Amino acid sequence: MSEWWLNSTPTYNLQFNTAITMNKPTIETYIGQGIVPAPVIPRSVCGITSSQEAPMELKGPLILFSSGLDSTYLVREALKTSNVHLLYVMGNFNRAKAEQELAAREKIKQWFNDNPESQYRIISDTIQQFEMGDSFQMINAVKLSQPLMWLYPAMYYYKPGLHTSVQIAYVKNDHMSPHLDDLTNAWNILTKFIKAGQIPLTFPVRDVDKKDSYNALPKDLRSLIWVCDNPMIDGNRNIIECKQCGPCKRRATYLNQEST
Ligand SMILES: [Zn+2]
C-alpha cells in the first residue's frame, strides 16, 4: 500500500537525522553542545505558504501528537469532525524515547488509515526538531517547560490559512491543568507578533478523565501507544519500557483493572 500521508507535497517534512544512535542518552550527553539553533521553519505545508488560504478540504487543527494515550485520544476525537494535521516536536534530551514515539506514531497513523471512523483523514504530519542544547536545563527550571518546548516551534510552524487551531491533549488532572488558561493568554499575546496571523490554542480534552480516555480507545489502537518517559535498553539492545515511571505505572494499573 502506498504511504497515504505522502499524497500531496510536501506533507511529510522529515527534519531530523534518521540515524538515531542506540546509545542510551543522558542529560549529560546534551549539555555543553553549544548554541541552540532556531527551529527549521518549513516554507510550506501541503503546498500552502503562510499567506495563502488552503482549500476547505485541507483545513483542520494542528495537533501536537506524541503517540501517547492523551494525544492519540485527541486525534481520534478530532477526526470525527475534521481533517487533521499532526506535529511532533523532537527535543533531543531523550533520543530513545523519541525513537520509540516516532515508531509508535507511524503505527498509529496506519491504524487511523486502516480503520476510518468518519470521512475525515490525517492530512499531514511533520516532525520538527528542536535542539535544546544548553537551554534544556534552563527551560526545565520553569513549570511551563513542556508546553513551551512544544508551542515555540508550533508558533513558527502554523499556517493560518491551513490550520484552524493548535491543539494540545492535556487531560483532566494533568500537572499542567492549573496553567492552561495562562498558556492560552500567553499564546494570544505572543502570536499577535506572527505576521501571517493568529490561530487559537485549544485544549479540547481538558475535561476528560485519563482512565476514561484509555477505556474509550479500541484495544488494538491502545496496544500501539507508547507511554514510557524513561525507556531503557536491554541486553539485546532493544528499547524497552522502564515499568517504573508514572505513565508506565498508570498503564499497568489500567491493564490490571481490565483483566480482573
Ligand atoms: Zn516508563
Q: What is the pLDDT of residues 163-182, one digit of tens each?
A: 999 999 999 988 899 999 99
pLDDT per position as a tens digit, 87-114: 998 876 677 888 888 889 999 999 999 9
Distance in angstroms (rounded) separating the CA atoms of residues 228 and 249: 9
Task: Please report where in the chains the cell 511529510 appears, as a residue.
Answer: 12
> How remote is the CA of residue 61 from the centroid of ligand 1, in Å?
30
> How remote is the CA of residue 244 from the centroid of ligand 1, in Å?
5
> How remote is the CA of residue 99 from the centroid of ligand 1, in Å?
14
> How remote is the CA of residue 240 from the centroid of ligand 1, in Å?
9
Residue 141 inside a domain? The answer is yes
Q: pLDDT value at position 110?
A: 94
> How remote is the CA of residue 226 from the centroid of ligand 1, in Å?
9
At residue 134 the predicted structure's pLDDT band, cuts being 50, 70 and 90, is low
Phi first, then psi: what are they for 136, rounded to 5°? -55, -45
Residue 182 inside a domain? The answer is yes
65 within 8 A of 88, measured Cβ to Cβ = yes
> How remote is the CA of residue 97 from the centroid of ligand 1, in Å?
10
> How remote is the CA of residue 152 from the centroid of ligand 1, in Å?
26
CATH of the domain at 139: 3.40.50.620
At 243 the three-state DSSP class reads coil
CB atoms within 10 A of CB 20: 15
85 within 8 A of 62, measured Cβ to Cβ = yes
> How remote is the CA of residue 17 from the centroid of ligand 1, in Å?
25
Mean predicted lDDT score pLDDT of the chain = 80
Q: pLDDT value at position 24?
A: 41
> How remote is the CA of residue 219 from the centroid of ligand 1, in Å?
20
Residue 142 inside a domain? The answer is yes
> How remote is the CA of residue 9 from the centroid of ligand 1, in Å?
36
Distance in angstroms (rounded) separating the CA atoms of residues 17 and 130: 12
Distance in angstroms (rounded) separating the CA atoms of residues 163 and 222: 27
More confident of the two residues 139 and 34: 139
At 258 the three-state DSSP class reads helix
> How remote is the CA of residue 2 from the centroid of ligand 1, in Å?
33
> How remote is the CA of residue 230 from the centroid of ligand 1, in Å?
5
Domain that residue 128 falls in = 50-208
Number of domains making up the chain? 1
Is pLDDT above 90 for 207? Answer: yes
> How remote is the CA of residue 225 from the centroid of ligand 1, in Å?
13
- Answer whether 0.85 is exceeded by the pTM: no
> How remote is the CA of residue 153 from the centroid of ligand 1, in Å?
26
Q: pLDDT value at position 145?
A: 75
At residue 5 the predicted structure's pLDDT band, cuts being 50, 70 and 90, is very low
> How remote is the CA of residue 249 from the centroid of ligand 1, in Å?
7
> How remote is the CA of residue 245 from the centroid of ligand 1, in Å?
4
> How remote is the CA of residue 166 from the centroid of ligand 1, in Å?
28
Residue 164 inside a domain? The answer is yes
Q: pLDDT value at position 132?
A: 60
98: cell is 523519541
Q: pLDDT value at position 12?
A: 36
> How remote is the CA of residue 246 from the centroid of ligand 1, in Å?
7
Q: pLDDT value at position 21?
A: 35
Distance in angstroms (rounded) separating the CA atoms of residues 74 and 168: 8
pLDDT per position as a tens digit, 40-80: 556 778 888 888 899 998 999 999 999 999 999 999 999 99
